[in-house]
Structure formats: structure tokens, C-alpha cells
Chain A
Amino acid sequence: MSTAPILEVHGLSKHYPVRKGILFSREVGQVRAVDGVDFSIGEGETLGLVGESGCGKTTTSRLVLGLETPTAGDVLLEGRSWQGLSGRDKQDYHAKVQAVFQDPWSSLNPRMHVGDIVAESLRISKWGTPAEIDDRVAALLVEVGLRPEHARQYPHEFSGGQRQRIALASALAIGPKLIVLDEPVSALDVSIRAQMMNLLKDVQEQDNVAYLLVAHDLATVRHMSEWTAVMYLGQIVEYAPTESLFEHVRHPYTKALFSAVLPDHPDRQEEGIVLSGEVPSPLDPPGGCRFHTRCPFAMDICSQVAPPLTESQSGHLAACHLE
């Protein structure tokens, strides 16, 4: 990686206990939502995190945001661990790591003016005088393609695409190092998605902010990110520079995800691995390689030994016994 990492994640795990009984409740198992995940994001870079629902990509993003405490492992921002932080340092962490969520209808407070939504983080951190904050809000609204006078309106007066722009302006306000984008375009209309993706790229270039892009659409990830990590049942199965991953897929699960992408033309139907069945429960994940129950190439070893991530060329990691 050319640039120094802004964010490093080591052996990150989040297990949720499952209890049974009301009075004398006992733990009957654990949902291993995230189970030993490593990645890093460089300054001004984008890492795309792909996988099906339930694979742990949203839990991973919540751990990075500091909204959940990891069961094991660590999240380091600019080399400092999240776990040791308290008071002002913790507040500083939350200022540097911001988020834009999927649904712009529920992520903006309907009772607040747009200007107050954008200014909230500035006021909390006592960023400047009220006049300076007003100027900053106006500049942010312009940066995301809105007009300064929109600050006096309410969220319900805006369309989905405009609301997502407001959410981005409020994430950018305090000058974050990293923005977690959790499915930022999937709730938007097709004709608006391209506008939002272009805006995200422009903002990244201008402010040199890093993105952790959580998405299920491979084409969006290819378009947006320098690095891509594929998750399955709480673990990363393939992690590589985006171009390397899209040119030479190594893991059978990634191949299956590619085969499931709908064609961009009626005469170009993808043929490849069509998976049968559904993702097993993370409550009791299969032993060995977690994908072996659905993998068409599974061998004996796959059900016994979990394959480690191995590197092929230029940082292309995959966890599979086949190679």
C-alpha cells in the first residue's frame, strides 16, 4: 500500500451471546457475526466490503464506527487503538470517523433544519463562532451540490438523492479522516445513483478522505474502490486490489457472487457457479472452511481445516484450499 494506513483492523471479532430462559437464563450459543477480520485503509483510499446479508459487513462497519465493542481484536485509527480512548480522545475518534447510512429517510432528524443537521457536529466540538459555523455550513452545502439557502428547510422538503447529499454534508462537516458508507446508493433511484457516486468521488479527491464502502453490488464496488474485501459468514475470504480481484477471481464464493450478477445485456448471461441453498446460520457456522457446505469444489480437507488467507501476487489474498 502506497499511503500510510489511516485505519487498521486486526483480528476483529464480534460475538453475540444467545440466551435461553427468562429467570435462570443461560448462554446456549454465540452468533459469530464477525470472526477474526483484518484489513487496513490508506489515506484518501476506498475499501469496498462486499457480501450477502448476514455476512457481517454491517457489524464490521459498526465496530469501525465505535458503535459496538469488539469481543476480540482491535481497531486502530492513525495508529491509536479505539479501546484505550476515553473523554476527549474518544470524542475526537468519533469526529474523525463519520458515517453515511443507506436510508436517507430515517438517517436525518425530521424536526431539525438542514443547516442544524449539518452544523450539529461543529457545535458539539465547539468548532468556531456561530458566524463561522454558518459560513462553513453554506460552503458544505455547495460542496455537495445544494444551495446555501437550503439550510433553512426541513428534510421532508427534499428528495432521496438530495437527502443523501445532506447526510454527506453533515458527515464531512468536521473534516473526518474516514467515512463509513453503508450502502450509500442502494436506496436511491437508478438515475440518481450515478450523481451520488460521482459526488462521492469528487469529495474524496477534494478532501482526501478515506471511505469504507459497504455494498452488495459488485459493479458499484468496482467503480468506487481501490481495494475490495469479500466477506462470508463473518470472515474475509478474499481481499485484493480491486482491479486484481475483478481480473482474476481466486475464491469460489467470489466467483459465485460474480455469477449471480445480472447481465448488462440480454445476450451476455453469466454462466458459472450458481449456488444452491442459502447462507448457513452464523449461530453454528460450519467447521473448516465456512463455505464448504455450498462450494461446488469442496474436498475432504475443506470440512476439517479452515484455510488461511494466502497471498498470490501484489497483495491478492484468498482463503481456499484449492490453490
Chain B
Amino acid sequence: MDSAPVLEVRNLHTHFFLRRGVVKAVDGVSFALRRGEVLGLVGESGCGKSLTALSILRLLPQAAARTIEGSVLLDGEDLLAKSPGEMRAVRGQRIAMILQDPQTSLNPVFSIGNQLHEALARRPDNTGRSLRERAVDVLRRVRLAAPEQRVGQYPHELSGGMKQRVVGAIAISCAPEVMIADEPTTALDVTIQLQYLDLLKELQSSLDMGILFITHDFGVVARMCDRVAVMYAGRIVETGPVREIFDNPVHPYTQALIASVPKLRRKTGRLRAIEGQPPALSDLPVGCRFADRCPHAEPRCLERYPEAVNVGENHSASCWLAA
């Protein structure tokens, strides 16, 4: 995979400026996503993974949140330099997004077909087919049963798994180069989750998209991702190919996350819990942000933040012990 990245995020800083101080939610995040690749962005809630996605699409939640530094390059064009109008042409058409809860992503008062038309109408199609035919076609691509009937139905008539397929259909209707999937299967049942993950893989290879897959579940990572970036308190602490991360995790946080999950195949004794909590993003330590929960912390960990170092092929970690 030596092709040029389709999406490249460089040194992204998104902060909230509040009366009580500055919350550094995304604080120097860099990664690259290639076509045909699934990059997993893994971390706990509040680590800044969703806000990274919103910063890429420039959909920050409130006036207080601003991206103050960094660049987001889509095929080499900086999205942060675009006008709001130009940005609208990017969202949905070149970068699509799937959110966690299909219930809130769909509008309850419009039919499935109607919501698909909205997306399809933005991409002209010269085969002379009607919007309805194209909507049925795209529903068939996400393997929704009986698509001819579904276009006339409303979201409440569909189950959670079916609704998430409709969201997927809207996302691929403009054949985007990049898809951002923010925990798309967390709200689904286990047997439905697996079907959906397989569908995303299939769509990805047929459309040659790059997928930025945001999750907290290492099982999803193992099933879906080619590369992994582990995020903690606003920064990426380790990146590498998926097998490297599972076989040879270097950062103590990655190690602890993988070890703290109970195993299905054997009886586990006492779980290796990570004691304590992540630091407050408004009051971050100067040193390593994981230091106060880290079993291997040394004095230098508290004094300076460790820069990322290469620990293997395409594998880097921000830890003094790895340096």
C-alpha cells in the first residue's frame, strides 16, 4: 500500500474555548488514510476520536469549538482553507459519514426513498433512470431485502439493522472517496453487527473507498481494520498495522486495553483493570497523559511528553520506554 493517501490529517488541534478554560479535545493528531484501506481510530469516550471526525468535516458542535492548528488534506486539497460553500460540496459527496445511532440519523417524517433522493439528486446520472430506480438500486447494493417496497416506507417501519443499512445506502449514493464510520454497529445486535461489518467491507472494496473507522471495540478492529491508531486524551499514542498492534503492542495503554477485555475462548481469572480515569482535558499534565495510570511510569514520563518513535515497520508509539 504505497499509494498516496486520500485523506491526510496533520497536527490537528481542535480546542473548546470556554469561560472556565481551554479544553484541548484534539491536541496534535496526525494520520493518513489510503484508498482501499480501513484505519481504526480506537479510544475511550472523551478521548477526542469523534471530534477528530467532526473537525475533518468542519461540523464542530458549537461556537466555542475551533480548529486552531493543523491541516486536513483530501487528495492534497486543504479542507480547512475551503469556503463554507465548497465544504458543502465535500460533505456527503466526497466524504460520507455513518453515525452510531440510525434512529437519529434518519428523518422520521420522510420516507426512505425521499431521504435517498436528497442524496442522489446531488450526483447527476446520465443513464436516464429515475431517482426512484436509482434509490432501489442503491438499497439493493446494501442488501436490504425487498428494496422496491422499502423506498415507500418510513424509518419507524424498519428495524435498527435495516435503518443502518439505509444510512449506509445514503452514504455510498455519491460514491465517496472517504467514509467516516463513527461506531456504526454499537447500537446493533451481535448477529446483525457482523452482517453490517461484512457489508461495509464489501462496499469498500467495490467502491475503493478509504474508511476511517472510529470504535472502542478491539473485536471490531480485529475484524475490520488494516491499520490502527490508538487515541488517548486528545493524542494518538500508537499507530501500526493491525497484526502488529495485537501481537506486539508497545504503548502501555494499548497493552492494557487489549488485556482488560475478558476472553471468550478461555476462562479468565481476575481481569487486568486500568485503575483510575483519563485526565481532564481542561487540565492536562505536561508529561505523558497516561503516566498516572501507567504501571511502568518513571519520573521522566511526568516531565516531558514523549515524541512518537518508530518501533517497527509503519509502527510508531509515543512512550519513553519505547524510545
Do A and B bind? yes
Where the two chains meet, the residues of A that have a C-beta atom closer than 8 Å to any C-beta of B are 52-53, 159, 161, 189-195, 197-198, 201, 216-220, 222-223, 243, 246, 256-269, 274-279
Given contacts A190-B44, A219-B262, 15 further A-B contacts (CB under 8 A): A189-B44, A189-B216, A190-B257, A190-B261, A191-B44, A192-B44, A194-B262, A246-B264, A258-B264, A261-B219, A262-B194, A263-B223, A264-B264, A269-B223, A278-B162
CB distance from A52 to the nearest CB of B (A): 4
Q: Which single residue of chain A is at the shortest CB-CB distance from B270?
A: A198
User: Which secondary structure characterizes the binding site on chain B?
Assistant: loop
Expressed in whole angstroms, the Cα–Cα distance for A258 and B145 within the complex equals 25
B131 within 8 A of A: no
The answer, among B161, B223, B267, for a CB contact under 8 Å with A262, is: B223
From 168 to 221 in chain B, residues with beta carbon under 8 angstroms from any chain A beta carbon are: 189-195, 216-220
CB distance from B154 to the nearest CB of A (A): 18
B107 within 8 A of A: no
Expressed in whole angstroms, the Cα–Cα distance for A223 and B264 within the complex equals 8
User: Is the CB–CB distance between B243 and A266 below 8 Å?
Assistant: yes
User: Is the CB–CB distance between A194 and B260 below 8 Å?
Assistant: yes
Expressed in whole angstroms, the Cα–Cα distance for A268 and B219 within the complex equals 10
B273 within 8 A of A: yes
User: Is the CB–CB distance between A218 and B277 below 8 Å?
Assistant: no
User: Is the CB–CB distance between B273 and A262 below 8 Å?
Assistant: no
User: Is the CB–CB distance between B262 and A223 below 8 Å?
Assistant: yes
CB distance from B110 to the nearest CB of A (A): 23
User: Is the CB–CB distance between B264 and A195 below 8 Å?
Assistant: no
B127 within 8 A of A: no
CB distance from B39 to the nearest CB of A (A): 14
User: Is the CB–CB distance between B222 and A278 below 8 Å?
Assistant: no
Those 5 A-B pairs whose CB atoms lie nearest each other, nearest first? A262-B219, A194-B273, A223-B262, A194-B271, A194-B260
The answer, among A189, A243, A259, for a CB contact under 8 Å with B45, is: A189
Which residues of the other chain, A, contact B257 by a CB distance below 8 angstroms?
190-191
Which residues of the other chain, A, contact B275 by a CB distance below 8 angstroms?
195
User: Is the CB–CB distance between B267 and A216 below 8 Å?
Assistant: no
> Can you pick out 10 interface pairs between chain A and chain B where the beta carbons lie within 8 Å of each other?
A190-B257, A191-B273, A197-B273, A218-B264, A223-B271, A263-B223, A266-B222, A266-B243, A277-B145, A278-B162
User: Is the CB–CB distance between A190 and B260 below 8 Å?
Assistant: yes
Which residues of the other chain, A, contact B44 by a CB distance below 8 angstroms?
189-192
Expressed in whole angstroms, the Cα–Cα distance for A264 and B247 within the complex equals 11
Which residues of the other chain, B, contact A279 by a CB distance below 8 angstroms?
189
CB distance from B176 to the nearest CB of A (A): 25
Q: Which single residue of chain A is at the shortest CB-CB distance from B265?
A: A264
User: Is the CB–CB distance between B223 and A198 below 8 Å?
Assistant: no
User: Is the CB–CB distance between A52 and B264 below 8 Å?
Assistant: no
Expressed in whole angstroms, the Cα–Cα distance for A267 and B221 within the complex equals 12
CB distance from A241 to the nearest CB of B (A): 12
B294 within 8 A of A: no
Which residues of the other chain, A, contact B268 by a CB distance below 8 angstroms?
222-223
Q: Which single residue of chain B is at the shortest CB-CB distance from A52?
A: B189
Q: Which single residue of chain A is at the shortest CB-CB distance from B225?
A: A266
Expressed in whole angstroms, the Cα–Cα distance for A53 and B161 within the complex equals 12
User: Is the CB–CB distance between B242 and A260 below 8 Å?
Assistant: no
Which residues of the other chain, B, contact A201 by a CB distance below 8 angstroms?
270
CB distance from A23 to the nearest CB of B (A): 24
Which residues of the other chain, A, contact B242 by a CB distance below 8 angstroms?
266
B305 within 8 A of A: no
User: Is the CB–CB distance between B194 and A274 below 8 Å?
Assistant: yes
CB distance from B37 to the nearest CB of A (A): 14
Which residues of the other chain, A, contact B243 by a CB distance below 8 angstroms?
266-267
Which residues of the other chain, A, contact B304 by a CB distance below 8 angstroms?
none
Which residues of the other chain, A, contact B218 by a CB distance below 8 angstroms?
190, 264
Which residues of the other chain, B, contact A223 by a CB distance below 8 angstroms?
262, 267-268, 271
Expressed in whole angstroms, the Cα–Cα distance for A196 and B95 within the complex equals 38
User: Is the CB–CB distance between B273 and A278 below 8 Å?
Assistant: no
From 40 to 80 in chain B, residues with beta carbon under 8 angstroms from any chain A beta carbon are: 44-45
Expressed in whole angstroms, the Cα–Cα distance for A262 and B246 within the complex equals 14
Expressed in whole angstroms, the Cα–Cα distance for A256 and B195 within the complex equals 12
B274 within 8 A of A: yes
B159 within 8 A of A: yes
CB distance from A15 to the nearest CB of B (A): 22
From 275 to 320 in chain B, residues with beta carbon under 8 angstroms from any chain A beta carbon are: 275, 277
User: Is the CB–CB distance between A265 and B262 below 8 Å?
Assistant: no
User: Is the CB–CB distance between A222 and B222 below 8 Å?
Assistant: no
